[in-house]
């Protein structure tokens, strides 16, 4: 099956000389929730704005639902709905009017419009006929999602939809994203909240400085982490961590717990425990903590920053 989005050697150099994308390639498979992660300034919005037709690329190709964004711009555009990072808004229309106007721009016939249905799904039906300037920030964000959906695109792209949004609204947004996904929509999102990406995304690409530094299924990405953490409770109080353990980092929590970070390509948990026993300490309890996306993210993005 053809990917939902195919990006090949994508380049963007802005007119001031800033090289925001340095040959980015990846596919977004159909039917997934795909996370595009990266620190501020990595190039995420540039990439999304190229797909949206708001920024001109300076090299490479992109296909959306099989349609080349240059050769077949019209069809490519119809295949995606984009929720931009910035809230730009026409304050003089009501949410209902805003959706109807947007549907008009996409030439959706009146009989096929679903403005009220979309407002209901986004819990905005009470505000359907209120002026947009009376909406809260969260409501405006939901309305932007609604605008991206009027032409019923198979792909929805959300650029940092939850930046600066409170926890309750964030959860509402994600539950709506999950509903769309369950109904067959391919979802691409950028987010700073790594824990959310970890829970929500089937697949994750990490970009840093305009380059892809990771691209894998979320569970594989998590499994690939080399850093592991062993938490050991010992049988007596310690003033300081024992010297000479082969771990990369030894920290203490209270007087009896050691938190040991180690690289599993160098050492096993068994070897580490043996080394603790060899110092004369008895081990009372052991637990491990798997690396999370945040560890991996920091590792991949700091490495390249050096």
Residue 40 vs 240, nearer CB to ligand ADP: 40
Residue 212 vs 276, nearer CB to Mg ion: 212
Q: How far is the CB of 237 from ligand ADP (least distance, A)?
A: 48
Residue 84 vs 146, nearer CB to ligand ADP: 84
Q: How far is the CB of 43 from Mg ion (least distance, A)?
A: 8
Q: How far is the CB of 159 from ligand ADP (least distance, A)?
A: 7
- Among the listed ranges 41-49, 88-96, 112-120, 259-267, the one in contact with ligand ADP (CB under 6 A) is 41-49
Structure tokens at 135: 């909406």
Residues 6+ away with beta carbon under 8 Å from 110 = none
Does 38 engage in binding with ligand ADP (CB under 6 A)?
A: yes
Does 162 engage in binding with Mg ion (CB under 5 A)?
A: no
Does 20 engage in binding with ligand ADP (CB under 6 A)?
A: yes
- Among the listed ranges 40-48, 132-140, 261-269, 279-287, the one in contact with ligand ADP (CB under 6 A) is 40-48
Q: How far is the CB of 162 from ligand ADP (least distance, A)?
A: 14
Does 118 engage in binding with ligand ADP (CB under 6 A)?
A: no
Q: How far is the CB of 68 from ligand ADP (least distance, A)?
A: 22
Q: How far is the CB of 124 from Mg ion (least distance, A)?
A: 25
Assign 3-class secondary structure to the chain.
CCCCEEEEEEEEECCCCCEEEEEEEEEECCCCEEEEECCCCCCHHHHHHHHHCCCCCCEEEEEECCEECCCCHHHHHHCEEEECCCCCCCCCCCHHHHHHHHHHHCCCCHHHCCHHHHHHHCCCHHHCCCCHHHCCHHHHHHHHHHHHHCCCCCEEEEECCCCCCCHHHHHHHHHHHHHHHHCCCEEEEECCCHHHHHHHCCEEEEEECCEEEEEEEHHHHHHCCCEEEEEEEECCCCCCCCCCCCCCEEEEECCCEEEEEEECCCCCHHHHHHHHHHCCCCEEEEEEECCCHHHHHHHHHHHHHC
* Among ligand ADP, Mg ion, none, partner that 18 touches (CB below 5 to 8 angstroms by kind): ligand ADP
Residue 263 has φ and ψ, to the nearest 5°, of -100, 120
Does 42 engage in binding with ligand ADP (CB under 6 A)?
A: yes
Does 208 engage in binding with Mg ion (CB under 5 A)?
A: no
CB atoms within 10 A of CB 36: 28
* Among Mg ion, ligand ADP, none, partner that 168 touches (CB below 5 to 8 angstroms by kind): none
Does 44 engage in binding with ligand ADP (CB under 6 A)?
A: yes
* Among ligand ADP, Mg ion, none, partner that 104 touches (CB below 5 to 8 angstroms by kind): none
Does 45 engage in binding with Mg ion (CB under 5 A)?
A: yes
Does 46 engage in binding with ligand ADP (CB under 6 A)?
A: yes
Q: How far is the CB of 196 from ligand ADP (least distance, A)?
A: 17
Smallest Cα–Cα separation from 152: which of 117, 195, 204, 192?
A: 117
Smallest Cα–Cα separation from 73: which of 86, 61, 84?
A: 61
Binding site for Mg ion (CB under 5 A): 44-45, 85
Binding site for ligand ADP (CB under 6 A): 14, 16, 18, 20, 38, 40-46
């Amino acid at each position: 099956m053809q990917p939902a989005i195919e990006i090949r050697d994508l380049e963007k150099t802005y007119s001031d000389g800033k090289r925001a994308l340095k040959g980015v390639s990846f596919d977004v498979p159909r039917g997934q929730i795909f996370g595009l992660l990266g620190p501020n300034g990595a190039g995420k919005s540039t990439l999304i704005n190229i797909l949206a037709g708001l920024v001109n690329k300076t090299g490479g190709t992109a296909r959306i639902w099989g349609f080349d964004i240059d050769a077949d711009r019209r069809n490519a555009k119809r295949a995606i709905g984009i929720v931009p990072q910035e809230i730009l808004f026409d304050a003089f229309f009501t949410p209902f009017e805003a959706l109807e106007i947007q549907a008009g721009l996409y030439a959706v016939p009146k009989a096929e419009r679903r403005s009220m249905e979309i407002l209901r799904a986004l819990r905005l039906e009470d505000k359907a006929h209120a002026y947009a300037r009376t909406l809260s920030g969260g409501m405006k964000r939901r309305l932007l999602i609604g605008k991206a959906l009027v032409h019923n695109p198979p792909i929805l792209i959300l650029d940092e939809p939850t930046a600066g949004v409170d926890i309750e609204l964030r959860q509402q947004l994600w539950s709506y994203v999950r509903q769309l996904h369950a109904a067959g929509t391919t979802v691409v999102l950028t987010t700073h909240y790594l824990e959310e990406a970890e829970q929500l995304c089937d697949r994750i690409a990490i970009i840093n400085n305009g380059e892809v530094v990771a691209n894998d299924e979320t569970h594989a990405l998590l499994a690939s982490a080399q850093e592991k953490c062993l938490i050991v409770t010992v049988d007596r109080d310690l003033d300081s961590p024992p010297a000479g353990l082969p771990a990369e980092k030894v920290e203490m929590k209270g007087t009896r717990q050691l938190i040991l970070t180690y690289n599993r390509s160098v050492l096993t948990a068994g070897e580490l425990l043996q080394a603790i026993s060899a110092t004369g300490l008895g081990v009372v309890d052991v637990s491990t903590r798997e690396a999370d996306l945040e560890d991996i993210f920091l590792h991949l993005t700091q490495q390249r920053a050096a």
